[in-house]
Amino acid sequence: MKTILVPQGGIIMMTTIISMDDTESASGLAYAAQRLRDGGLVAFPTETVYGLGANAYDQQAVTAVFAAKGRPQDNPLIVHIADLHMLDDFVEDFNETAQKLAAAFWPGPLTLVMKAKPGVLAEAVTAGLDSVGVRMPSHPVAIELIRLAGVPVAAPSANISGRPSPTQAQHVITDMEGKVDAIVDGGSCSVGLESTVVDVTQAIPMVLRPGGITPEQIAETVGSVEIDPAVLPAEAMQIEKPRSPGMKYRHYAPEAPMLVFIGEAENVVQAITAEAARQRSGGMKVALIASDETLQLVKSDIALRYGKRHEVKKFASGIFALLRKSDELNADIIICEGCADKGVGLAVMNRLFKASGFRIIKV
Ligand code: TXA
Ligand code: MG
C-alpha cells in the first residue's frame, strides 16, 4: 500500500494506492471496503473499465463521485452488486427478461436498466429517473470488494468526465490522484470497453449503449432486441433527448482532434495514406491508430497498432489506452482506421464516433 499526498487548492487529499500484486492485498482490499462503507471514494478494476465507486445508499458519497469526475448531474450511475440478493433492496421489478439476461451474462459486462424502488438509493444515483442500471461485474477484485463492503456500489468509469475511460490503474492515477480516497490496482481490464446497457423495462429489451455483450447475444437469449437509434451515428446527432442520458455528451475524447476512416480496406488504406501525408506536410504530428496490415503500408509519426484487422476484441480492449497514448506522445492529430459495426465492432465504432466528435469519413 502506498499513500500519495496531493495539494488541492490548499487542501491536501490522500490517495492510497492498493496493489493486488503484493502480499498486503487482502488487508488493502479490506481497507478499501471500509472506506466505501464510511462514505469514501474508491476506484477499482472491473473486467470492462476501472470504476469510481461509492456506497449507493450514501447521498454525500455519490455526490462526491460527480464532483471528482466533473460529471453532469443528469447522468445516472450504474449500481454494482456482488450477488442477486442485493437486488431485493432497491430493484422494484426483476422481470423475466431481466432474469434470463442475468442468468446468461452475469457476472459480466452487461448492465440491466430496471424499475427502481422509490426512495431507497441515494437520489443522485438515478439522477431523478425511476429506473436504475445494475451490473454484477465478473472481475474477482470487484466482486470481493463489493462483497466486503456489504453495500451496492454506485460506480461510473473512473475517468475525468469526457476523457477516455481508464483500462489501467495508471490511467486512474492520472485522472483521479488527490481526488479519491483509494485506487485499487488490479492490472489491465480484459474487455476494455464499458458494459452493454440494456433497458429491460419494456417488452422488447433495448440496447442503450453497446458493449462487450453484443445485440446478437441478447437476441439469442430473449428472442428479440432493439437498438436505441442514438447508438448509430447518423441519427445520433439529431436526437435531442436520448434515452440513456450519457449518450448525448462528447465522450471518450482524446485531446487531439481525431478522424476515423471506414469502408473497404483498400480504400481506407489509400485515404489514410493521403490524409497522413497531407497533415504531416502541414507540420502536424500524426498518430495513426490502425491494424497491423495498415500500419505496414502507411507512414506516420506515431504508429499505434491494435492487432490484426479482424481482431475486433483486441481493438476493443486496447482503444482507450491508445487514445490516451496519443495524447501522452503529444500527437497533433489522430487518424484512426475504423472497423465493421458488427458484434463487438458496434461498441468500438460507437466509442470512435463519440471520441472523434462524429468526424467519420466513409470511403
Ligand atoms: O462497464 C461499465 O459499465 C463501467 C464499469 C465501471 O462498470 N461503468 C460505466 O459507467 O461505464 P458510466 O457512468 O461511465 O456509464 C453509465 C452509462 C451512462 O451512459 C448512463 O447514462 C447509463 O449508463 N445509465 C445509467 N443508469 C441509467 C438508467 N437508469 N437509464 C438509462 N441509462 C442509464
Ligand atoms: Mg463513463
Average pLDDT over residues 161-175: 97
Instruction: Decide whether any atom of ligand 1 lies within 6 Å of the 81 Cβ.
Output: no
DSSP per residue, 59-94? HHHHHHHHHHHT--TTSPPEEE-SSTHHHHHHBS--
What is the CA(23)–ligand 1 centre distance, in A? 33
Pocket test for ligand 1, best of 52, 77, 350 (most atoms within 8 A of CB): 77
- For residues 6-22, average pLDDT: 76
DSSP string, 268-321: HHHHHHHHHHHHHHTT--EEEEE-HHHHTT---SEEEE-SSTT-HHHHHHHHHH
**Interval 137-165: pLDDT, tens:** 999 999 999 999 999 999 999 999 999 99
Our mutation pick for probing the ligand 1 site, out of 78, 90, 123, 180, counting the most ligand atoms within 8 A of Cβ, is 78
What is the number of other CB atoms lying within 10 angstroms of the CB of residue 238? 8
Ligand that lies nearest to the alpha carbon of residue 72, given by its number in the listed order: 1
Q: Is 300 in the pocket of ligand 1 (CB under 6 A)?
A: no
DSSP letters for 184-241:
EE----SS-SPPEEEE-SSSS-EEEE--SS-HHHHHHHHS--EE-GGGSHHHHTT-SS
Q: What's the confidence (pLDDT) of residue 240?
A: 42
**Residue of minimum CA distance from atom 31 in ligand 1:** 244
CA distance 293 to 4: 43
Q: Is 228 in the pocket of ligand 1 (CB under 6 A)?
A: no
Q: Which amino acid is at 9?
A: G
Q: Categorise residue 222: left if φ over 0, alpha if ψ from -120 to 50, beta otherwise.
A: alpha
**CA 157 to ligand 2 centroid distance, Å:** 4
**pLDDT at position 315 over 90:** yes
Describe the strand order of the beta sheet including 51-55 as a list of residue ranges. 2-8, 11-19, 182-185, 42-44, 51-55, 153-154, 78-80, 131-135, 110-115, 196-199, 206-209, 226-227
Q: Which ligand is nearest to the CA of 91?
A: 1
Which ligand is located closest to the Cα atom of residue 167?
Answer: 1
Nearest CA to ligand 1 atom 17: 246
Give the span between the Cα atoms of 113 and 105, in whole angstroms: 14
On average, the pLDDT of the chain sits at: 92
CA–CA dist 55, 149 (Å, integer): 8
Q: Which pLDDT value is given to residue 4?
A: 62
Q: Is the confidence at residue 233, as pLDDT, over 90?
A: no
> In sequence order, what are the residues at sequence separation of 6 or more whose Cβ sits closer than 8 angstroms to the Cβ of residue 134?
78, 79, 80, 81, 87, 91, 111, 112, 113, 114, 152
The CB of 213 under 6 Å from ligand 1? The reply is no
Residue 230 confidence (pLDDT) above 90: no
CA distances from 232 to 175, 197, 304, 335 (A): 29, 15, 26, 21
Contact (CB, 8 A) for 80 and 137: yes
* All three cell numbers of 157: 468509469
pTM: 0.93
Sheet holding 360-362, edge to edge: 302-305, 286-290, 333-337, 258-262, 360-362
Torsion sign across C-alpha atoms 19, 109, 197, 147: negative
pLDDT in tens, 64-123: 999 999 999 999 999 999 999 999 999 999 999 999 999 999 999 999 999 999 999 999
List the alpha helices (DSSP H) in 131-189: 140-149, 169-176
For residue 161, the CA-to-ligand 2 centroid distance in Å is 7
Give 23-79 pLDDT, tens digit per residue.
Answer: 888 999 999 999 999 999 999 999 999 999 999 999 999 999 999 999 999 999 999
**Atom 20 of ligand 1, residue of closest alpha carbon:** 246
